[in-house]
Chain A
Amino acid sequence: MFGQLLAQHFVHTALWAGAIVAVVSGVIGVFVVARGMSFAVHAISELGFTGAAGALVMGIDPVLGMLGGSLLVGVVLGLLSLRGRERDSAIGAVLAFGLGIGVLLLSLYQGYATEATNLLFGSIVGVSDGQLRNLAIVAGIVLAGVAVLYRPLLFSSVDPDIAAARGVPLRALSVGIFLLLALTTAEAIQVVGVLLVLTLVITPAAAAQRLTGRPGLALLLSVGIALVATEGGILLSLEKSWPTSFFISAISFAAYVVARIVDWSRSSD
């Protein structure tokens, strides 16, 4: 059974899609965690959902709506470039209203409920060849963006005041990272769904952060954990017919718990 499934084309597509999303999420997650943007990830993904629901109502590709919703919120949050508590409450307010619109749009949508369920919980096995190509293109854009912004992004994440003094354009970088995050979120939604984006964008990076103090190594570890979680989750869901998203979040969380234990045992000797 397992062997037969592995030979299927749709499984290969799913594994490739998972790998692409894992790499992008693992990379961007490192910056998201360093800048304390976890809540923003959640907001961007939920409003990606609102965008997708809008697209469904209008009868266009929900992925486009999702991209639109995520990017719009990303730009707004990036331009505000708020810090700390003010940012949390602003995001909360925007998130709640956006989600309200999403609920309205969904009630207006007359189509199949599975479309909406897929958005919320992910549908990795339904990825088509065309979607896979789009995933790869968007991933290429995100990775190229991170490569260009890498040093100033790291500098401004660690010490924004000194970075600004050195001429690093903080607001432009803030918009940049939010746009890249919006693209990443729109990718991850297609694999794990709106509700579980954090499991790929936050958890692996948070685990990596516990394991090393080296920025480059943290990036590699984060990508590694995201890859193991995604590919492992897809393979396990072939073996046992539980949702893929569950397995992905379970593996990713296990890595986080292990990282915390390793970190704790190191600092207590």
Chain B
Amino acid sequence: MSVVSVKDLTLGFGRRTLFEGLSFELEPGELLAVLGPNGTGKTSLVRTLLGLLQPSAGTVTIEGCPPRERCQRIGYIPQQRIFDREQTVRGRDLVRMGLDGHRWGFGRLAPDDRARVDAALAEVGATAYADAPVGRLSGGEQQRLRVAQALVADPVLILADEPLLSLDLRHQRGVVELLDARRQSAGTPVVFVTHDINPIHHTVDRVLYLAPAQRWAIGTPQEVLTTETLSRLYSTDVDVLHVRGRVVVVGTPDDQHVHHVGDDH
């Protein structure tokens, strides 16, 4: 059975429609990269999968249930936001929140839950700084802890929204390897929103490309990341080049920071 099922999904705010009639299924162990310029609804799609945003039309189910009923089983890794230096939580506390942070009351950590927190910390290689205040750690270390937090509750789905932003190459690779290892060992499917395919290219099964003007395409990287497909999506000449193992897209309106009208709401 597919883990995620999206049928005829339309998303929009007021009179502005982001995309229409989007359908796809996500099978266990699959990694779907969501690509596209700003303002095409990548983050809105993630919020819909989390149940935080209601579709304008269509349905989204996680394991056959509405997303809100499964939100505690989704590992969510958002854009990196640096913690305040003064935040009085340790890495260990942060990871624990992934397990029981949503429950009421003080709650004591049961021994086997403590073991799960330790295991998640070890899995991302954060044991050495697990007891340091998170605000004193580097951006890469903080993001590793967020991965551990997302994995500790044994998620049925991982949603990563630009998790590599502002990380250096070494830490980018680290985060990608952690998520890739998880989906291979536990079969957890991953939805990975990114503006740059290259750091995850070797692990991607399928690409969902969200383009301006409500256009989208889904398929394998070989199908979607082509000169033909992207030129059709953008209605202009776009070239997809392969340079030294990297995918380079040239000619999209957004490759020189063009301001999209209507992006600021």
Residues on A lying within 8 angstroms of B by beta carbon are 30, 33-34, 147-152, 154-155, 158-159, 161-168, 208-210, 212-215, 218, 267
Contacts and interface: CB of A to CB of B under 8 A. Distances in A.
B7 interface: no
A161 B79 CA distance: 10
A68 to B, nearest CB: 28
A164 B68 CA distance: 11
B102 A218 contact: no
Interface residue tally on B, bucketed by range: 35 or more
A147 B106 CA distance: 6
Contacts, number: 93
Nearest to A162: B76
> What 4 pairs between A and B have smallest CB-CB spacing?
A213-B133, A155-B101, A165-B76, A218-B88
Interface in B87-133: 87-90, 93-94, 97-98, 100-107, 131-133
A20 B62 CA distance: 48
B132 A213 contact: yes
A151 B101 contact: yes
A30 B87 CA distance: 10
In terms of DSSP, what is the predominant structure of the interface of chain A?
A: helix
Given A168-B101, A214-B93, A151 B88 contact: no
A85 B262 CA distance: 23
Given A161-B81, A165-B52, A165-B71, A151 B105 contact: yes
Contacts of A208: 88
Contact of A154 (B78, B89, B132): B89
A147 B97 contact: no
A244 to B, nearest CB: 29
Contact of A166 (B93, B102, B105, B136): B102
B149 interface: yes
B113 to A, nearest CB: 13
A196 B106 CA distance: 30
A215 B88 contact: yes
A96 to B, nearest CB: 28
Contacts of B78: 161-162, 165
B97 A155 contact: yes
B83 interface: yes
Contact of A150 (B83, B106, B133): B106
